[in-house]
Every structure is written in C-alpha cells, then in structure tokens.
Amino acid sequence: MGSYILRRVLLIIPTLIAIITLNFFIVQIAPGGPVDQALASMHGIGDTNMAMERIAGSSGGDQAQGQGGSREESYRGARGLDPEVVAEIEKRFGFDKPLHVRYFSMLRRYLVFDFGESLFKGKGVVELIIERMPVSLSLGLWSTLIIYLVSIPLGIAKAVRNGSRFDSWTSTAIVLGNAIPTFLFAIVLIIFFAGGSYLKWFPLRGLVSDNFDQLSAAGKIFDYFHHITLPILAMVIGGFATLTLLTKNSFLDEIGKQYVVTARAKGCTEKRVLFRHVFRNAMLLIIASFPSAFIGMFFTGSLLIEVIFSLNGLGLLGFEATMQRDYPVMFGTLYMFTLLGLVLNLISDITYTIVDPRIDFESRKQ
C-alpha cells in the first residue's frame, strides 16, 4: 500500500501542472483582462461587462494582454490615454513581461504555495482563501453530512422494501426534489421564512449576527445554526436522489448474490445478513462517490447559495475573481481546489482497503 500511495502522490504534481497550464493559456485569450479592467475603471465605466465589450470592440479581437501592445494601443488611441500611464498599469499587474515568463514564474511560486496578492482586493490570495474558508466549509460539510445521513438509511430501507408502496413514494419525492433548481428553492425559502412575504423566522444575510462575539457559548451555537438553516436546506434538496438510488441499487445487487443465499441458509437473521455481510460490499460504491460529492458541495454547489444569502465563501470569491479577471485569485483557488480533489481521491482509495481488506492496490500496475 505504501508504494501505491507514493505513486499516487507523485502523480499529483504533473496533474496539477497540466490543469494549471491548460487554464492559464485558455484565460489568456479571453478579452477584458486586469489591465483592461483598470483602464476601464480610469474612464469611470461602471458596468464591467459593458466596459469589457467596449474594450474588446476597440481592440479588434486581439489576443490577451502581455502578448503585444495592439490592444492597449487601440484603447489608448480611442480614449486618449497617456502611454506612460498604461505602461505603469501593465507593470503594476506584471503584464509588462512576456507570456512565457509570467507562466514559468507562476509555476515556480505555486510549487512553494506562494499565490501572490489579489490585483483588486489588496490582500494576499492565501489570506482571502482563509478568510472565506469557514463559510464554504460550513455549507459543504453540513450539506454532505445531512445528505449521507439521510440517503444511506433511506437507500437501505428502499432496497429491503423494493417494489413496495414506500419505495414508490420515496422515489417520487426524491426525484421531484432533484428536479427543483437550488436557486429557485432558496428564493422560495426566503419568501416564506425569511421575511420575504410571510414569516420572518430566519435571518436573510450572513453566517452569523453582527453581535456574534458578544453572545454566550450557547447563544453563538444557536445563532450559527439559525443563520445556516435556510442555505443548507436549499443545498440539500436536490442532493438525496443520486446517493439514495446508488445505495439502493448497490444493496439490491449484493442481496441477490450467492453468499447472501448461503448465509440465509445457515440460519443467519435478515438483520445480520444485511449489516454483517451485505453492508461492507455494498458500501464500496458509496465510498467511491464521496470525493466528488464533497467537492461538488464544497466548491461548486454553494455559488448561487452564497450569492442569494449574501455569504462570503469561496464560491463567491472565485466568481468575483473571474468577473474581475483577478488572475492570482483565479489560479490560486483553482490550484488549491484541484490539489484538495486529488488528495480526497487518494483518501477514498485508502478508505476502500479499510472497508474491505481484500482490496489490494499494491497488485495494481499504475
């Protein structure tokens, strides 16, 4: 197992480099980079999208900044900017250097987890990630925990009662829940329970109240769950279907195998057969799906929820960085998310051997 873990760890490095490289060069050809954003801001263009369109129009579809001065020259000619001012802006953002120099400089810094500073927020990327991490951790961990605590017992119950009325009604309920868009359900919750039009049982904004530090320990716990209830409900509504049906089908597949028939023939109770023999084998697929489920909830599933409930998490940070073309934040968060995803997949493989010691990754050729 040790050599397998070592191989997987060594594979993380080229995988990270490949993903960062691909995204780096894709982003470079997109119009409206940091220099364009700063130039538009100097002209008082309030709407970023409008500014980007006007800048892209004046550039004549040239390539990204740092690969030549055609875009800046065209923009200067249209706006009457002093070339020295534009050159100073390019230097401040590091775009006075050639593309390949910026690329290799980024790789060297990322190897030691030096992500630089945000171009527009005046803070280091690591500081921003740490600052926003509690919100995303709260949403991701609680959502994933609730989905697993509900879906696994429900899937087992559906497998045991396969074809019954309970199975049919629960399948209908979770499929309907899966069909409801997360943002739409969040809006409905706000309208009915957060003072939108009816009840005002829950707060609308933030993860905690403004006076959180002045509350007692019990008050802080209540305040935290009071704020996070609606966002979590909105996130989990569509998350039960996949895991529940996966659990059900995994158990049904194992229940029909010969070793289960043999265990029953030996006089084992149904409960013993289910949890002593079937559970360990059926749970392998569930464990395999955990990294993708957690990553989905942690990084992508919470974006709209963070926007709707005004929660400053990593999803909102990444969205803002993309809109502003804040490259250090974009690539820094991408690097961390990718690294965490690869590590979680390795942890998933290790968990396989804990659940079923018969699995031996050492014998696999990688």
- Size of the chain in residues: 366
Please state the domain extents for the chain.
31-112, 126-363
CATH code, residues 126-363: 1.10.3720.10
Closest-CA residue to 245 (of 179, 295, 301, 170):
170
What angle is formed at CA 344 by the lines to CA 339 and CA 346, rounded to 5 degrees? 100
User: What's the pLDDT score for residue 169?
Assistant: 93
Q: What is the 3-state secondary structure (H, E, C) of the chain?
A: CHHHHHHHHHHHHHHHHHHHHHHHHHHHCCCCCHHHHHHHHHCCCCCHHHHHHHHHHHHCCCCCCCCCCHHHHHHHHHHCCCHHHHHHHHHHHCCCCCHHHHHHHHHHHHHCCCCCECCCCCCEHHHHHHHHHHHHHHHHHHHHHHHHHHHHHHHHHHHHCCCCHHHHHHHHHHHHHHHCCHHHHHHHHHHHHECCCCCECCCCCCCCCCCHHHCCHHHHHHHHHHHHHHHHHHHHCCCHHHHHHHHHHHHHHHHCCHHHHHHHHCCCCHHHHHHHHHHHHHHHHHHHHHHHHHHHHHHHCCHHHHHHCCCCCHHHHHHHHHHHCCHHHHHHHHHHHHHHHHHHHHHHHHHHHHHCCCCCHHHCCC
User: What's the pLDDT score for residue 236?
Assistant: 87
User: What's the pLDDT score for residue 250?
Assistant: 85
d(C-alpha 349, C-alpha 354), whole Å = 9
User: What's the pLDDT score for residue 46?
Assistant: 43
User: What's the pLDDT score for residue 364?
Assistant: 54
pLDDT tens for residues 255-284?
878 887 787 787 777 777 777 778 777 777
d(C-alpha 125, C-alpha 171), whole Å = 44
Joined together, the tokens standing for residue 214 give 């002045």
First to last CA, the chain: 13
pLDDT tens per residue, the chain (366 residues)? 677 778 888 888 888 888 888 888 877 766 666 666 666 666 554 444 444 444 334 333 333 333 334 444 434 333 455 566 566 666 666 666 777 888 888 888 888 888 888 877 878 888 888 888 888 888 888 888 898 899 988 988 898 888 889 989 999 999 888 888 888 888 888 888 887 677 788 887 777 887 888 888 888 889 888 888 888 888 888 788 888 888 888 888 888 788 877 877 877 777 777 777 787 777 777 776 676 676 666 665 567 788 888 788 887 887 888 777 788 888 888 888 888 878 877 877 777 676 666 666 655 554
